[in-house]
């Protein structure tokens, strides 16, 4: 009976390394792919710094596609983080046709602040380009 199922943690051997990920032999004539984004929690520029052919690795099965392809991760001990911001109700002023009350900035003040920020950023970019 196969122990390859979504959520299972398995031992495997790296049998191939490409720029986009590592192929892992899971036994039972099955291989899976650990995408480069699933190798480590930090940014992976060169996958060869993390795995090489013949390495024994512990992986978790993320997905088994209908065509039999198996997606794996080596980021097992990380808790899944929900990066989405919490839902926030619109304030009443915005829901009333986009009108704002007098305590909020008027359009001219917002445009002046945006223009100053934009000019500052463009100046910083120009300084960086001159250094090159």
Mode of pairing for the β-strands spanning 30-35 and 21-27:
antiparallel
CB of 10 closer than 8 Å to CB of 59: yes
Q: Which residues pair with 73 in a beta bridge?
A: 60
As a whole-number percent, the residues of the chain with pLDDT over 70 amount to 77
Least confident of 36-45, 82-91, 116-125: 82-91
* Alpha helix (H) residue ranges in the chain: 92-95, 107-131
Indicate whether 28 pLDDT > 90: no
With bands split at pLDDT 50, 70 and 90, how would you rate the model's confidence at 126? confident
Indicate whether 71 pLDDT > 90: yes
Indicate whether 66 pLDDT > 80: yes
Q: pTM for the whole thing?
A: 0.57
Distance CA 41, CA 39 (A): 7
């Amino acid at each position: 009976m196969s122990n390859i199922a979504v959520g299972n943690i398995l031992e495997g051997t790296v049998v191939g390394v490409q720029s986009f990920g590592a192929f892992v032999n899971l036994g039972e004539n099955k291989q899976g792919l650990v995408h480069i984004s699933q190798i480590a929690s930090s940014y992976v520029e060169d996958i060869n710094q993390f795995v090489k052919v013949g390495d024994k690795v512990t992986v978790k099965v993320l997905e088994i596609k209908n065509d039999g392809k198996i997606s794996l991760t080596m980021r097992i001990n990380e808790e899944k983080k929900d990066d989405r911001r919490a839902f926030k109700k619109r304030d009443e002023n915005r829901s009333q046709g986009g009108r704002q009350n007098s305590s909020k900035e008027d359009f001219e003040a917002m445009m002046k602040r945006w223009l100053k920020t934009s000019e500052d950023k463009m100046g910083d970019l120009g300084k960086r380009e001159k250094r090159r």
